[in-house]
Structure 1
Amino acid sequence: MVSRRSFLKGSAGAALLMSAAPARLMAAEARKIRFGVGLKALNATVINCVIGEALGYNAQEGFSLDVQALGTNANVQVATDRGSVAIGVGVPSTALPLLAKGEWGGAKMFYQYTYPYKWDIAVPPGSALKSYTDLKGKKIGVSDFGATEYPVTKNVLKALGLDPDKDVSWVAVGNGTPAGVALQRGVIDALAYFDTGFGQIEAAGIELSYLPRPTTIPMVGGQFLMAMPATFEKDRDLLIGFGRSVCKASQFLLANPAAGAKAFLKLYPETAPRGASEDEAVKAVLQSISRRIKLYAPPYANTKMGAINEQEFRTEAAMNGLDLKDYAALYTNELIDKINNFDAVKVKAEAAAYKG
């Protein structure tokens, strides 16, 4: 059976999650760095950002990871701006409005660890709804109104000629399994959600059918690693090292997802379903990340893993009516070449040979 560990709870509803990496990876000289994620509790959504701890990639770069689940992306932004975390997860839906209002705190995104597009709309099997345009007059569930699936899905419906404020109604149904149960019980007609969230629902045994994506899906919704300018100046090698660890972990997962799931469960056994065997726990992780893994590699030709495409910011800003001309304050690709300076073939061979 997979054991469970209790969480260490921090202030303001944040949970401080200490990794259970092997002692050899926790050498005294390894520097502990704080990494902020916008989750209420850690899950496999950020698997490629954290399993470098179990695989030895963090140790090779001279640091050990201290993951803080801060609840929301906005909380991560504040923690990064204040220096409470050295590196945080950045998302354009938080960053762009701040930049438009002249309130951007100066953090720079330096590595894109998940590329667009990760949202879908699911309906119960056998539903009469067959397309996005069939949603007119229906109730659409979202996890909450502060989550990214809400504004993104509204914009997609708008592009299809629907008025997202009048033609459909929106219901906040919570995260994970509760959202699936709401769909299953008919509380909502359809559920707008993201890839790993749907994976959690399916792992709970709830069947879903997905409406075909429109051909006009916007390339928005990437997720990024970000840090303050002072960290670039004083700790540039740390940012390169963390980016390289994430890049290696992404290649590892693409080569052998099951091995990556085992590494994740070694670090965070409390994320396994209660009472699950090891095989069942690995299967649950794989179900949750099966769609997300496909988004690790850039969807653009001749682009190195982690490189940031400014057009994604421009598209999202336009979708939300933000008047922005200059995006240079948001991001940099200056570290990408060094981050990708490793033997990817060796990493893939390690993944193939991994036994846990």
Structure 2
Amino acid sequence: MWTRRDFGLGLGALGLTGSLPALAQKLRVMKVANTAGVNDPQQCFVTAGQHPRLNFYKPEGVDVEYVNMSSMTQALQSLRAGHVDYGPAVPGILLPAMAKDPGLDLVSVYKWLPRNANVVVVKPGSPIRSVADLAGKRIGVRSQGDTGIVVTRTMLAELGLKDDRCEYIAIGDGAPAGAAIDNDRVDAMVAFDTAAARVELVGTKLRYVPLTPKFAQFGSGWLCVPRELLMKERKALVGLFRGMAKSTLFAHHNLEAGIDLHWAVYPESRPKGRSEDEARKELAFILKDRRNSWMRRPDDPDQRIGASSLAEWKSNIEMAVDGSKNPKLADELGDPNRLFTNELIDEVNAFDRQAVVEMAKSFRL
């Protein structure tokens, strides 16, 4: 929990220690659809920067509020209704939804997960050795609205295979998912890397199956906003994503501090029933792969944090066509340039990266 001293430091950094009401009036709280369902330190790439010791958001006139969602589908519905300001954009779900509902006018503005963080996992002795072997199998997914279904269809389509004989079974997270795998209720699980790591932590042994070559090269996470919000609140969105870019750099270079800062900002997420040291070790394991997926690959020609490319969105459309089994999808979507924009990205990256890295390396809470 923030101490009075921390709160004073945060306000002092803004020169506003005597003008809290003015701050409250000017601060734009941006609501995000949190499809993880819970607010835990896997989101420290966003939340670390909320702590007064870093204070990456409030000088930009913004702050973040999490709104928990059960699935990507619910997130899109909430964006459509204006209940949240921004949310995750998974092309395999977003693009068919936009084609079906022209009123769902969303634009992806920030690529938060530039590497592919999806995984396919099986029991160590499973006969499944490649994605091709998933055809006709029982696939465990977090929920029926989860991305694992689309990911499976997309990769099978890349191989020229269909998923029409696959059975998708909702197995939840952590211990329930582990039990489903251990008890052979499913043949494989397709999920994000953090979900698989949580299953391993409950004692279930897993073997990771390689992703298909083309799909493996793609990023797996964007953030989208309603187009109307982009036009009306451009400055706030630049501030939001600049704060997020700084927070991501910080958490990547000092994950332990990122976790501590998350707990300080969201004390209700602190571990219960075990020590913080034990919980920290677990979280470090959960985020062991994710922390690198927050950052662009070294060979990526565009090293700007959050940037997208037309080529990747054209490929996203191609994969969505295969995954959705809708050959008219590209025509229904129209110009792919309308699906994303880099118009905020140069301003988002207008800060001293090295200064943030050095801050992270020397930081102690």
State the TM-score bracket (shorter-chain normalisation): 0.7 to 0.9
Residue in structure 2 matched with residue 50 of structure 1 by the alignment: 47
1:292-327 deviation per Cα after TM superposition (whole angstroms, max 9, x unaligned): 222222342133110012333322322232224412
Q: CA–CA distance in 1 between the matches of 2:60 and 2:287?
A: 26
Q: CA deviation at 1:218?
A: 5.0
Q: CA–CA distance in 2 between the matches of 1:20 and 1:199?
A: 33
1:255-312 deviation per Cα after TM superposition (whole angstroms, max 9, x unaligned): 1122212112222343344322121222222222222222222342133110012333
The correspondence for 1:194, drawn from 192, 205, 230, is 192
Count of matched residue pairs: 338
Query: One-letter code of the match for 1:53?
Result: Q
Pairing 1:29-178 to 2, within 5 Å after superposition: 29-30=23-24, 31-37=27-33, 38-54=35-51, 55-101=54-100, 103-135=102-134, 138-166=137-165, 168-178=166-176
Q: CA deviation at 1:220?
A: 4.5
Show structure 2 runs of 5+ residues with no match. 12-19, 322-328
Q: CA deviation at 1:61?
A: 1.6
Q: CA–CA distance in 2 between the matches of 1:104 and 1:310?
A: 23
Runs of 4+, deviation exceeding 6 Å = none
SS at match of 1:89: strand
Q: CA–CA distance in 1 between the matches of 2:219 and 2:103?
A: 19
Residue in structure 1 matched with residue 15 of structure 2 by the alignment: none
Query: One-letter code of the match for 1:249?
Result: S
Task: Tell me: CA distance 1:46–1:90, structure 2 relative to 1, closer, same or farther (3 Å).
Answer: farther
Q: CA deviation at 1:341?
A: 0.8
Query: One-letter code of the match for 2:206?
Result: L
Task: Tell me: CA distance 1:20–1:209, structure 2 relative to 1, closer, same or farther (3 Å).
Answer: farther
Q: CA deviation at 1:102?
A: 5.2
SS at match of 1:281: helix
SS at match of 2:213: coil
Task: Tell me: CA distance 1:304–1:323, structure 2 relative to 1, closer, same or farther (3 Å).
Answer: same
Task: Tell me: CA distance 1:284–1:165, structure 2 relative to 1, closer, same or farther (3 Å).
Answer: same
Task: Tell me: CA distance 1:137–1:94, structure 2 relative to 1, closer, same or farther (3 Å).
Answer: closer
Q: CA deviation at 1:346?
A: 1.1
Task: Tell me: CA distance 1:203–1:97, structure 2 relative to 1, closer, same or farther (3 Å).
Answer: same
Conserved 8 A contact 1:202-1:208: yes
Task: Tell me: CA distance 1:217–1:106, structure 2 relative to 1, closer, same or farther (3 Å).
Answer: closer
Pairing 1:326-337 to 2, within 5 Å after superposition: 326-337=335-346
Answering whether residue 245 of structure 2 is matched by residue 247 of structure 1, we say yes
Q: CA–CA distance in 1 between the matches of 2:161 and 2:275?
A: 46
The alignment's TM-score, normalised by the length of structure 2, stands at 0.82
Query: One-letter code of the match for 1:64?
Result: D
Conserved 8 A contact 2:174-2:202: no
1:115-164 deviation per Cα after TM superposition (whole angstroms, max 9, x unaligned): 24121211123434333334455432122232111121122123334432
Range with greater deviation from structure 2 (288-297 or 217-226): 217-226
Show structure 1 runs of 5+ residues with no match. 4-18
Range with greater deviation from structure 2 (134-143 or 242-251): 134-143
The alignment's TM-score, normalised by the length of structure 1, stands at 0.84
Pairing 1:199-278 to 2, within 5 Å after superposition: 199-217=197-215, 219-220=217-218, 222-278=220-276
Q: CA–CA distance in 2 between the matches of 1:332 and 1:149?
A: 26
Structure with the higher fraction of residues in helix conformation: 2
State, as a whole percentage, how many aligned pairs show the same letter.
Answer: 28
Residue in structure 2 matched with residue 323 of structure 1 by the alignment: 330
